[in-house]
Structure 1
Amino acid sequence: MNLRQVEIFRVVMTNGTTARAAEVLHVSQPAVSKMIQELERSLGFDLFQRIKGRLHPTQEGQLFFREVEQAFLGLTHLRGAAARIRDYGSGEIRIACLSALSTNVLPRALQAFMKSNPNVAVTFQARMSSNVRDLVASGQFDLGIVADEIDRTGVEIEEFAEFRVAVALPKGHPLEALKVIRPADLAGQPFIALAPEDTTRREAEIAFHRAGVTIRPVMETPYSTTICAMVAAGVGIGLVNPLTAEPYEGQGLTLRPFEPALHFRTLLITPPNRLPSRILEDFIRDLRGAI
């Protein structure tokens, strides 16, 4: 079995006939038929049934075609990688980040990094922290910025930053009159909660419990950006990362400090047993500078 035989098989499967495959490949129809027969001999099973001069894929042929498609997806990725190396020369970095920092810290860090590294290709995705962890652990991404509630197995971890929790209020809300907001002030207020697995949510629940306060959740979301948007729309009140809330301040949202002090804690994660490249170290330096 060789790659040319497999390529011809794929074209026949895709186009339905050896005649059409021959046109696409710019070869003769007998040459296509011969290649298919040679591939079948090397595989040890029939890829097609020949009925009244037409080819009909066997079940084995269909199963083999699925595997061929997966292999060609890999080749497509290699072609893309080669194009990036050709066009950018210096390499690439792949970064995944929790949503809370994707609209503020990351743009500032990337602006600084790309200014000094204009020939580096950057892939960036904003995902939930658990998804970011999986992308990095599998080696698909070079760096992840995540909240501290992730599963820490299978990745290298470095403390990144912590941000003091603020209370996000709809503009004009009566609690704007307070300089500091405490758990008792939020009793009975419509509350937009973080996801149950969020460490900051669990710490907030402890603070509410100690104060004997019952909150009234009207919505739950893993994204601080969603909380900010909902607060600005007047849906309720929420605890947010003040950096995430930056674009919303003065646009329907007001921030107030929350006591007792709670924090959002973030981590940098990298794939296991892999030394960071020079360009990744440069980006991490710019990322820390963006804080």
Structure 2
Amino acid sequence: MAEAFVGTTFFIQKCVIFEVIYFISDMENCMPITLRHVEVFHAIMTAGSLTKAAEFMRTSQPTLSRELATLERLLDLKLFERRSRRLFATEKALTLHAEVKRSYFGLEQLMHAAEAIRDNTNQSVLIGCLPLFSLTLMPRVCRRLLESEPSSRIGLYPVEQASLMRDLLALRYELAVIEVGVPVDGVEIGEVTAGEEVCVLPFGHPLAARAVIAPGDLDDQTLISYSSTDPYRARFQRLFPDPGSFRNIRVEVPMADAICSLVQQGVGVGLVNPFSAHAYRGRGVIVRPLSISIPFVVGICRPRGRPISTLAANAASLIAEECRLMAEEFAKPGT
């Protein structure tokens, strides 16, 4: 039985990786790229050097170097720069490797499922989430889920929202946890309010003496904000009665954690979600509520029309419950 399973595993692996081969090949030219070429490329990108890749694949460095050169010739792509006897991946190599990793990732999911079926322990769930939630909300959810289902397995993958929605539709995850924004076709989204947007201030800042921060209080302050094209910033500007504060933006960053880190250094003040704010609270950052209500809404997503496993349904329920519990914690006096 075990030998048959291993044989099937190897066959599936070859099929999945050959899918990558045809993705990167010109179908008209039918270039003779082999499984070995893809394995060599993946090993070098993962190991970071020819020497380590050769050790991993139990072969010689010159052999890998020749096979890599053959792959570059067949693809007509320069995958690596060779400087001072070292390899440096080109932008094309990074793009190609992203496709290779995506297929390997799909293979890993398939093998986890096959192992679970073989061992009669088919209790696993794959959850994609924003990096923000992987550090704040989801550790609490994972703890409770494993307490209730000790034999279950959880795959938690922090991914940016655009890629997260694409991967969810490709059925790479059963659930995704996002910030609610524009609806996505084919995705069912359950919404739960998890507190309010807040203002973060450095220790010793004059506004820290106030219990609540009004939009006008920020007019003469150095503001750290999201970029001008970020929908999050547009939402703040749309909801503020007078967007004059946003003329004082001195630093633009893409993430709430970066805003909190800059506030921690005394660079200025910022407006962020409650999860990021309270992760930094007491570490050089003071958190104050806003005088206007700007709810922070978490979306629990799954592919529309697809059946959901019992474990995934339990996970979704726990995510919603933890969001509500954390919102209550954020609202406590003194917090």
Q: Return the TM-score normalized by structure 2.
A: 0.61
93-102 vs 188-197, which deviates more? 188-197
The equivalent of 2:274 in structure 1 is 242
Distance, in Å, in 2 between the alignment partners of 1:122 and 1:12 is 32
- Which runs of 5 or more residues in structure 2 are unaligned? 1-10, 16-32, 40-69, 76-95, 324-335
% identity of equivalent residues = 27
The equivalent of 2:187 in structure 1 is 155
The equivalent of 2:214 in structure 1 is 182
Corresponding residue to 2:259 among 227, 243, 247? 227
Indicate whether 1:281 and 2:284 are aligned: no
Tell me: higher relative CO, structure 1 or 2? Use CA pairs within 8 A at least 6 residues apart. 1
The equivalent of 1:167 in structure 2 is 199
- Quote the offset at 1:92 in angstroms: 1.7
- Quote the offset at 1:10 in angstroms: 5.2
8 Å contact from structure 1 (residues 85, 91) kept in 2 = no
The equivalent of 1:45 in structure 2 is none
- Opposite residue 258 of structure 2, the aligned amino acid is T
Q: Which is richer in helix?
A: 2
The equivalent of 1:32 in structure 2 is none
Corresponding residue to 1:218 among 250, 265, 282? 250
- Quote the offset at 1:181 in angstroms: 1.0
107-116 vs 129-138, which deviates more? 129-138
Cα gap change, 1:111 to 1:289, in 2 (>3 Å): same
- Opposite residue 96 of structure 1, the aligned amino acid is G
1:249-280 alpha-carbon deviations (Å, 9 max, x no partner):
11100011112221222211111320211111
Q: Return the TM-score normalized by structure 1.
A: 0.69
1:91-102 aligned at under 5 Å gives the runs 91-102=123-134
8 Å contact from structure 2 (residues 140, 322) kept in 1 = yes
- Opposite residue 113 of structure 1, the aligned amino acid is L
1:176-204 alpha-carbon deviations (Å, 9 max, x no partner):
01111112211232212134565542232
- Quote the offset at 1:128 in angstroms: 2.3
The equivalent of 1:110 in structure 2 is 142
Distance, in Å, in 2 between the alignment partners of 1:157 and 1:217 is 33
Distance, in Å, in 2 between the alignment partners of 1:88 and 1:118 is 15
1:139-168 alpha-carbon deviations (Å, 9 max, x no partner):
111111111224522311221224211100
1:13-32 aligned at under 5 Å gives the runs none
170-179 vs 198-207, which deviates more? 198-207
Distance, in Å, in 1 between the alignment partners of 2:274 and 2:36 is 58
Q: Secondary structure at the match of 1:215?
A: helix
- Quote the offset at 1:118 in angstroms: 2.1
Indicate whether 1:119 and 2:151 are aligned: yes
CA RMSD of aligned residues (A): 3.6
142-151 vs 211-220, which deviates more? 211-220
The equivalent of 2:43 in structure 1 is none
The size of the alignment, in residue pairs, is 241
